[in-house]
Amino acid sequence: MASLKDIAKICEVSTATVSKALNNHKDIGEETRERIKRVAKELGYLPNSSARALKTNRTYNLGVLFSDDANSGLQHDYFASILNSFKRTAEKQGYDITFVNNCKDRPNRMSYLEHCKYRGFDGIALVCVDFTSPEVIELLQADIPMVTVDYVSNGKTSVVSDNIKGMRDLVSFVIAQGHEKIAYITGDNNGVTGHRLTSFYRTCEQHGIQIPDEYVKQAAYRDTDSTYRLTKELLMMENPPTCILFPDDYSSLGGVNAIRELGLKIPEDISIAGYDGVSVSRLLEPQLTTLAQDTEQLGSVAAKELLELIEHPKTALVQMHVIAGNVVPGKSVAFLKK
C-alpha cells in the first residue's frame, strides 16, 4: 500500500506537505495540492484510520443509540428516514456511523457509556430511546458531544419535530372539513404524546368544540392490535365520532381493518387521519390524510449540530431546533355539509 513517503518522493515535496495537502490546509498552493491529490489517487493511497485518530485525536466515527419499544428497528419508517438523512449528512463530512449495542441478552454486554468509550466515538446521537432508563441517563451525563432527537434534555442540543403546531394544523384541517365529533387515539405517555394531546384539546377548544372524555383513548405507537380494538369501541358508541385521529400512520392500519370489518367505508361513513407522513400513508386506499414530519430536516440538522459540537467545541451553542411538518390532505377525511 502506498505511503505518504511514496507520494512525497514522486511529487518532490516533504511528507508534511503531502499531509497538509491531503487535509486541505490553506498554506499549500492550489496547484501543489491538486498534484499531490492526483498522485495519491493514482497510487491508491488510503489514510490509516488509526494513525489519523492518533494525530487528530478523533476517530471520525459517530455513535447512534436507537431502540424503540416495539422493537421494530430500522423497519420503523419514521425514525429510519431520520437516520438515513443523518447518515448521509455525516458521511459527506467524512464521518462513519456505528450503532451503539443495545442487545441486553448479549454475554459480557457493556453499558451504553462503556460501549461509547470503547468505540471512541467523537459524538453520539440518541434517537428513539427510553430517556428514563438509568443507562441512558448515565450516558446523558457523560462529557461527550451529543444530540437528542425528538427529546429535550437539559444541557444537550436537541432536534425535535413541532408536535404542537403539527397537531394544531391537522385538527384545524379536520374541523375545516366540517367535523366536530373528533376522536383521538393517542400514543404512549411521553413528551411527544403530551404535546400533541394538549394541542388537540386546545385547538378544539379554540373552535368552540368540546371533546367527550370517551373520545380520547390510548394505544402504543405502531400497535395495530390496540387501534383495531379501540376503533371498534369508538364506532360502537351510542354517539360515535365522525372522524378518528390515530397516533401514527402505521397504527391506522388497525383502525382501517376494524372499519372495514364493520362494513363501513372511508371516508363516506367514517373519516380518519394519521400522523408522520410515512410511505404507508400513500399506499392506503383511500390515501391517508396525515401530518408529514420533515424527517429529512430532522436528520440533517441533527448531524450538522453534532458535527458542530465536535469540530468547534469552544464556539458551538447548545440549543433546541424545532422542525415544522405539513398537512397532507389525502382522501380519508370527508367534507361534511352543514
Q: How confident is the model at residue 23 (pLDDT cuts 50, 70, 90)?
A: confident
> Model confidence at 51, in pLDDT bands (50, 70, 90)?
low
Share of the chain above pLDDT 70, in %: 92
Instruction: Evaluate if residue 97 carries a pLDDT over 90.
Output: yes
| Per CATH, domain 4-47 is 1.10.260.40 | yes
In this model, does residue 5 exceed pLDDT 60?
yes
Hey, which of 107-121, 127-141, 311-325 has the most confident mean pLDDT? 311-325
pLDDT score of 209:
97
Any idea where the domains of the chain sit in the sequence? Answer: 4-47, 61-161+296-324, 163-293
Comparing 54 with 166, which gets the higher pLDDT? Answer: 166
pLDDT at 163 over 60: yes
* Closest C-alpha among 52, 127, 62, 113 to residue 308: 62
Taking the CA atoms of 133, 220, 191 and 76 in sequence, report the sign of the dihedral they define.
Answer: positive
| CA–CA dist 115, 122 (Å, integer) | 13
Note whether 61-161+296-324 and 163-293 share their fold: yes
Segment 263-316, tens digit of pLDDT: 999 999 999 999 999 988 888 999 999 999 999 999 999 999 999 999 999 999
Q: Would you state the cell numbers that stand for residue 57, as one nine-digit string? A: 485525536
pLDDT of residue 107: 64
Q: Reply yes or no on whether the pLDDT at 104 is more than 70.
A: no
Give the pLDDT confidence score for residue 77 in this predicted structure.
85
Length of the chain: 338
Q: Go through 212-232 and write b for each residue having 16 or more CB atoms within 10 A of its CB, e for each that does not.
A: eeebbbebbbbbbebbbebbb
Q: If 0-12 CB within 10 Å is exposed, 13-18 middle and 19+ buried, where does residue 193 land? A: middle
Question: Does 61-161+296-324 carry CATH code 3.40.50.2300?
Answer: yes
Q: Which residue's C-alpha cell is 394544523?
A: 169
Q: The domain 163-293 is classified under which CATH number: 3.40.50.2300, 3.40.50.1370, 3.30.70.150, 3.40.50.720? A: 3.40.50.2300
Q: Is the pLDDT of residue 43 over 90?
A: no
Mean pLDDT confidence for 107-129: 88
DSSP character string of 5-73: HHHHHHHTS-HHHHHHHHTT-TTS-HHHHHHHHHHHHHHT----HHHHHHHHS---EEEEEE--TT--G
pLDDT-derived band at 72 (thresholds 50, 70, 90) equals: low
- The predicted pLDDT at position 59 comes to 85
Q: 318 pLDDT band (50/70/90 cuts)?
A: very high
Q: pLDDT-based confidence at 106, cuts 50/70/90? A: low
Contact status, residue 218 vs residue 225, Cβ threshold 8 Å: no
Does position 19 have pLDDT exceeding 70, yes or no? yes
Evaluate if residue 73 carries a pLDDT over 60.
no
Least confident of 39-53, 264-278, 301-315, 317-331: 39-53
Q: What is the DSSP letter of 111?
A: P
What confidence tens digit (pLDDT) does each residue in 206-225 have?
999 999 999 999 999 999 99
